[in-house]
Amino acid sequence: MDKSEIVKNLKQIKELVSDTPAIAKARMDFLIEDIEKERQYRSNQGRSDRQVENNYKILFWSVLGLVVTFLVSLFFPWV
């Protein structure tokens, strides 16, 4: 079964059980939305894209600082 068929079946089930409690309807909507949503190949483990981007920026500057420190200590061993 592909995604479109599963979503179609879930929508049909949702129509059939129209007299269910609101929580069940909300769960059906959540399932349909979750299946339709495109997923990233690699998970961010709950982090937002902005937070992941900021973490990579901090990593870049940290590694750059480490490389500069290493080069300074290599060229100026008395420092």
Which is more confident, 20 or 4?
Answer: 4
User: Residue with structure tokens 């089930």?
Assistant: 13
Please report where in the chains the tokens 């495109």 appear, as a residue.
38
Q: Which one has a higher pLDDT value, 8 or 62?
A: 62
Residue predicted with more confidence, 60 or 13 = 60
Query: What letter represents residue 52's amino acid?
Result: V
Position with higher pLDDT, 76 vs 17:
76
Does the global pTM surpass 0.75?
A: no
Distance separating alpha carbons of residues 5 and 23, to the nearest angstrom: 24
Joined together, the tokens standing for residue 73 give 């200590």
Angstrom distance (rounded) from CA 7 to CA 10: 5
| pLDDT for position 50 | 92
**Residue 4: in which H helix or E strand, if any?**
helix 3-16
| pLDDT higher than threshold 70 for residue 39 | no
65 near 72, Cβ under 8 Å?
no
Query: Between 60 and 11, whose confidence is greater?
Result: 60
pLDDT at residue 17, rounded to an integer: 75
